[in-house]
Structure 1
Amino acid sequence: MKASLRLLAFALLLSSSQAADPARQWTSSDGKSKFMGNLIEFSDKEVKIRRTTDFNQFRLPLDKLSKEDQDYIQGLLREKRRDGGLKEGAHAAKITGQFVKGVSKQGLNYQLWGNPKLDGTKRYPLVIWLHGSGQSGSDNESQLGGAPKIWTTEDNQAKDPCFLLAPQCPSADIGWKNEVAANLLALIADLSEHLPIDETRLYLTGSSMGGFGTFSIAAKYPGVFAACVPLCGGGDVKNAEILKATPFWVFHGDKDDMVPVDRSRAIVAAVKQAGGELMKYTELEGAGHGITGLVYPRADLHEWLFQQKKPAKSAN
């Protein structure tokens, strides 16, 4: 009787463990051996697996497994690294609840804001702010200019917690294109590797030169951003077909004396002509060029933006 109870307890324990970590098929690097097993432990060098047929546990060097199995483990390691990214890792020191300066591996100046009290096992959006031409340079301070801070207020963070990235374009003559755009994408990728950032909720926004940059970067790197919010900018109408797949909310003042409102009207019309149904447009009556203070505090913008999410990738 006691033996039966012990066997039942073992079976319940085993089934509970398997439910938490379902068995999967593992394949050797040469493809000759395949077996079903539960992953018990893993590192960047080896795995510990319990075989389902006889419950034997054994360790295997990672390089003895198939490329698919190695990729699976690397994915688990990546998520484990991101889980702990608020407290340790490449960017943990920048997550303080204040804007902290940094320089990317490619030499792009930026400031990053993140809340150290977030739950690292969850994933949060990243809002990327592109400043206008007057904030270009190398001081790594001018790009803040007040506009990005709206996303980090206590009330907004309580409702829509997120990270905020404010890069600085080195020169207005270059703008948010070419190597500057490439360096920005590399920085976003690096932050996403080490912090609990939801890569299905990357949001790009900017004003003036940053508005133009929002359009051009979204066209150059389609499928990266879940939504874009360009202010008093404009885009190349030849990119309408590319841009129509991304949700946009475009803003422009009808009295803008620096960037004609027709620049926004033209790209919005072109995208809609191409069949785009995700392009929203708000023209601010009587407003000039400086509209960040009118646009970014809007509750309806925040509600719309944080609802945007890229569709999940197909398993196939």
Structure 2
Amino acid sequence: MKGALTLFVCGLVLASCAGLLPAQEDLGEIQKRSYSFKDAGKDIEYALYVPSSYKKDKPAPLLVLLHGLGSNPQQVIRYQGVTAEAEKRGYIVVAPFGYNERGWYGSQGKGKGRFGVRAGDPENLGELSEKDVLNVLGIVRKELNVNSSRIYLAGHSMGGGGTIHLGAAYSDIWAALVPMSPAYMGSHDILEKIKAPMMVVTGDKDTTVPVQMVRPFARRMKETNSKHVYKEIAGGNHGTTFYRNPKLMTEVFDFLDGYGLQVEEEDALPQEPLRIFTNKSGRKIEARIVSSEGTKVTIARKDGKAFTIALSSLSEADQDYIQTWIAESATEP
């Protein structure tokens, strides 16, 4: 329970943050936020996206998104497809700064990283960078109704290395991980500490984080857990392959949608009751409704594994049940 305890403590020591619960006009928009980071002695920025479908009485999945070296929260949250998929699927997305644009999220130790360091950076830059991610996660979980079983972590380049590091250090938090072109330079033994399914994505023409650096990690990863996925994009580079690739973001969110944690009963948030759903072929599954979007509905089994299916594929009784649920949800405050 290391991660959960850390988040609890972080929540207690947060002094203040700019803004309270998102106003109705903020839903469906990227928000630029900040909070007072006492250990750093200054305000730290983060970016937040809350989908227009968000309701305070219904827990929503959360994606924590980490930027690369020299980048910032406002840039990474604007990667093409990120907020579009979040809006479609009902995800909250938050992008911490990690103290600054070169903190490495603790993946290179508690001190200054080996790359991008500047004069004036604090000696404990890595420690502050890691704490900032946890602080922001704590703020979002305190302000918004986050589904504790569906908290995900993803990042690009330096953020990909941070995803691997934090995915191992706080393994009880994350339902799934997506390091993209990960600039991870530590031991591959870290994979033994990662519990969550992981999707590693890289391009075979990446000259910043060469594929030759990622492939050995991916091989070890597949040996460690059969649920891990490695995607190597032919002709893919370090930049536009990720930030101008909405199709890839659809694949990333499809991967995330497939996984959830089992939460302890005392930590569980209110959920819809389990029900036996039957499709038109007679196949049955015990699950609960998570969300609906247009002609599709997302349901989740007791183990947290989620499925998005066409409403028309279900029995008439199930369709009636879901339509009633949608109608009741629309009238709730």
* TM-score > 0.5 by shorter chain: yes
Matched, 1:128 2:64: yes
Letter in 2 for 1:171: N
1:240 aligns with 2:170: no
Q: Percent identity?
A: 24
Offset, 1:183? 1.7
Separation in 2 of the partners of 1:288 and 1:222? 29
Query: Does 2:28 align with 1:92?
Result: no
Q: Give ranges in structure 2 of 5+ residues lacking alignment.
A: 1-18, 38-42, 107-126, 268-333
Residue of structure 2 equivalent to 1:84: none
Give the conservation status (yes or no) of the 8 Å contact 1:143–1:168: no
Q: Distance in 2 between matches of 1:313 and 1:296?
A: 35
Worse overlay, 103-112 or 220-229: 103-112
Aligned residue in 1 for 2:167? 218
Report whether the alignment pairs 1:176 with 2:84: no
Say which one has the larger Rg.
1
Sort the Cα spacing of 1:232 and 1:214 in 2 relative to 1 into closer, same or farther, 3 A. Answer: same
Which one has more relative contact order, counting CA pairs under 8 Å at least 6 apart?
Answer: 2
| Structure 1 residues 109-163: Cα deviation after superposition (integer angstroms, max 9, x where no partner) | 1011113542321111111211111214xxx64444x31x52322x7523x1111
- Asked if 1:277 corresponds to 2:256, the answer is no
Aligned residue for 1:240, secondary structure, equals helix
Alignment of 1:129-278 (within 5 A): 129-136=65-72, 141-144=74-77, 146-147=78-79, 150-153=81-84, 157-158=87-88, 160-177=89-106, 178-235=127-184, 236=186, 237-243=188-194, 245-273=195-223, 275-278=224-227
Local SS of the residue matching 1:198: strand
**Structure 1 residues 110 and 311 mapped into 2: Cα distance closer, same or farther (>3 Å)?**
same
Q: Does the CA-based 8 Å contact 1:233-1:263 persist in structure 2?
A: no
Q: Write the distance in 2 (CA, Å) between the matches of 1:276 and 1:191.
A: 30
Q: 1:279 to 1:294 in 2, by over 3 A?
A: farther
Which residue of structure 1 lines up, in the alignment, with residue 35 of structure 2? 104
Please, which of 258, 264, 280 is the counterpart of residue 313 of structure 1? 264
Cα distance change on mapping 1:167 and 1:268 into 2, 3 Å: same
CA contact (8 A) 1:215 1:234 kept: no
CA contact 1:234–1:267 (8 Å) conserved in 2: no
**Number of residue pairs matched by the alignment:** 219
TM superposition shift of 1:101 = 1.3
- Measured against aligned partners, the alpha-carbon deviations of 1:199-239 in whole angstroms (never above 9, x if no partner) come to 21111111111111111111221111111111111443121
Show the counterpart of 2:303. none
Q: Output the CA distance in 1 between the equivalents of 2:229 and 2:36.
A: 36
